Structure 1
């Protein structure tokens, strides 16, 4: 099914001290399968993806988790409890079926979706992770003064920072790359992440325990991803699921011609936040959009399969 059959949706904005987002749902009576949608390092509410999901028959709550008042300004030790609260809010809505809750995220949001589902296996019934990481990463503050200190985790759980992989000590080549980036030259950060993944002890501790997820897992990666090696991460995720005998379906779908903008249909062609145009994503808009459209039925099939 393409999910194009629902034409009328309703959007409800949420702006509370403990939750910022937008709920999109069909106007037809619920409850509908429910999806928590989390974005990446851009920090915005991923309302576009939630709207597409609503048109496909889902109650989709898209949330911001930093970079928007009154939330934290940076992606630093964001508590997973914030998202547990979002799931609670969504579960109480008449549009949503609390027994069919899933999480969909892209990039750092894909990392988050996997972490959250592993932390809440009794709540989250399935995960769709576009170009995610297989490990939790260090925080990347926007304020250079914060970046000069000891590295910190991007996430916390139970008041404790989630173990993370730090970036490897910089080399002279890194300095040249960052100088070019600051001067506006499109830059691929993939080599930095590949080098960081050579820190075997840190990687082992920070690996996301995806085997704890209480439902099916769909990972989608781009073979031309230049932001980070999502193909490698996808392989590591399904390898871990296989080693632990994960009892639910799981799949890694590699789209060879896609870059880091693989996502829900329309992701690659949408305007990008100021500064993000200097990040070299890999792939091309046309190939990313084609890959996204090809993956969309698989995404909807997984989300509809939950019980």
Structure 2
């Protein structure tokens, strides 16, 4: 799959460096051309370029048998993906990070693998809050309750998969409810970042703020890892005995991922057997399903700056393949 994970944005043309499919009901379409001899990138549009053959390749995130259902249940907003068949199926709550909005591609992939997957939006979407400070933790507990009681989901408990801020929220859910049997934290801090977490209007868990005076500027963008305080209490995600998979990359530009070891050290020895921590060399913050290119930097709306996500093409690609296998394995083993 080197044709895909080794891709780079076209300089001066690609407006969004992150290659994702927003509409999972349609495929990503790639046009592949075979050219006569080697042609420098700058000369591709010249009339002298000879195309020997061309074709299109489609890459789907949602299997054609998977049903996509928009969710507007009380305050909950998101998308439910239902596999084909009678069920019931194992359920997975899927959350992304602090850029907000609704991201569906991972949930669509999980449903294509036999899970009822709920892609949950929690701010900067529809009528949801526009700020993390206005998000209440009861919203996530309601999402767990709703998914775990859905008629298509069997009653042995659900899994939660979260990336970045979604990973921090997954840890909080592991602390807060025994309905979550599997936690996957992908590149999220073991503490809660940016804002305090409120529950029923009261502070539930103290957040840590980014010290913008300690941001490190480079040609790619800002590194935030030295601007995050690491002396706060880690979230005891092990409290209700969920199986935990914690995935980090050591080239993450947002935070020092060796702090994940503090999470392990804070865990009581008798519960460490339920946690698997994997640190990938040369890997950045955005560890996503495999065969898509690394995104080294992107604009972060909360900070108002372009931040470095990190990652080197080949190492990051290998990590994404391994991480996806591990995610499917822990879900299949403990909630299927």
Name the TM-score class by shorter chain.
0.7 to 0.9
Q: Which structure dedicates a bigger proportion of its chain to helix?
A: 1
Consecutive aligned runs of 4 or more in structure 1 exceeding 4 Å deviation: 168-171, 266-277
Deviation at 1:285, TM superposition (A): 4.4
Kindly report which structure 2 residues correspond to 1:62-73, keeping only aligned pairs within 5 A, or say none.
62-73=119-130
Q: Which residue of 1 aligns with 2:140?
A: 83
Q: Which residue of 2 aligns with 1:233?
A: 259
Deviation at 1:45, TM superposition (A): 1.7
- From 286, 290, 298, the equivalent of 1:265 is 290
CA distance in 2, matches of 1:170, 1:187: 10
Q: Which structure dedicates a bigger proportion of its chain to strand?
A: 2
Structure with greater contact order relative to length (CA < 8 Å, sep ≥ 6): 1
For the pair 1:192 / 2:227, whether they are aligned, the reply is yes
Aligned residue for 1:162, secondary structure, equals strand
Q: Which residue of 2 aligns with 1:146?
A: none
Q: Residues 251-295 of structure 1, C-alpha deviation per residue, up to 9 Å, x if partnerless?
A: 101111210011333565589976578210111344323211112
- From 89, 97, 110, the equivalent of 2:154 is 97
Q: 1:272 to 1:166 in 2, by over 3 A?
A: closer
Q: Which residue of 2 aligns with 1:292?
A: 320
Aligned residue for 1:90, secondary structure, equals helix
Kindly report which structure 2 residues correspond to 1:1-307, keeping only aligned pairs within 5 A, or say none.
8-120=65-177, 122-139=178-195, 153=196, 155-167=197-209, 171=213, 174=215, 186-193=221-228, 196-197=229-230, 200=231, 203-204=232-233, 207-229=234-256, 231-241=257-267, 243-246=268-271, 249-265=274-290, 275=300, 278-307=306-335
CA distance in 2, matches of 1:268, 1:170: 29
CA distance in 2, matches of 1:273, 1:29: 41
Aligned residue for 1:44, secondary structure, equals coil
Aligned residue for 1:49, secondary structure, equals helix
| Bigger Rg over Cα | 2
The answer to whether the 8 A contact 1:9-1:27 is kept is yes
CA distance in 1, matches of 2:300, 2:241: 37
Q: Which residue of 2 aligns with 1:150?
A: none
Q: Residues 28-56 of structure 1, C-alpha deviation per residue, up to 9 Å, x if partnerless?
A: 22111110011110112221110111111
Aligned residue for 2:334, secondary structure, equals coil
The answer to whether the 8 A contact 1:21-1:62 is kept is yes
CA distance in 2, matches of 1:49, 1:75: 22
Q: 1:105 to 1:170 in 2, by over 3 A?
A: closer
Aligned residue for 2:223, secondary structure, equals coil
Q: 1:99 to 1:190 in 2, by over 3 A?
A: same
TM-score normalized by the length of structure 1: 0.79
How many residue pairs get aligned? The number is 272
CA distance in 2, matches of 1:256, 1:94: 42
The answer to whether the 8 A contact 1:220-1:234 is kept is no
CA distance in 1, matches of 2:210, 2:118: 36
What value does the CA root-mean-square deviation take over the aligned residues? 2.8
Deviation at 1:192, TM superposition (A): 0.5
Q: Residues 50-94 of structure 1, C-alpha deviation per residue, up to 9 Å, x if partnerless?
A: 011111111110111011121110111522211121122223333
The answer to whether the 8 A contact 1:262-1:268 is kept is no
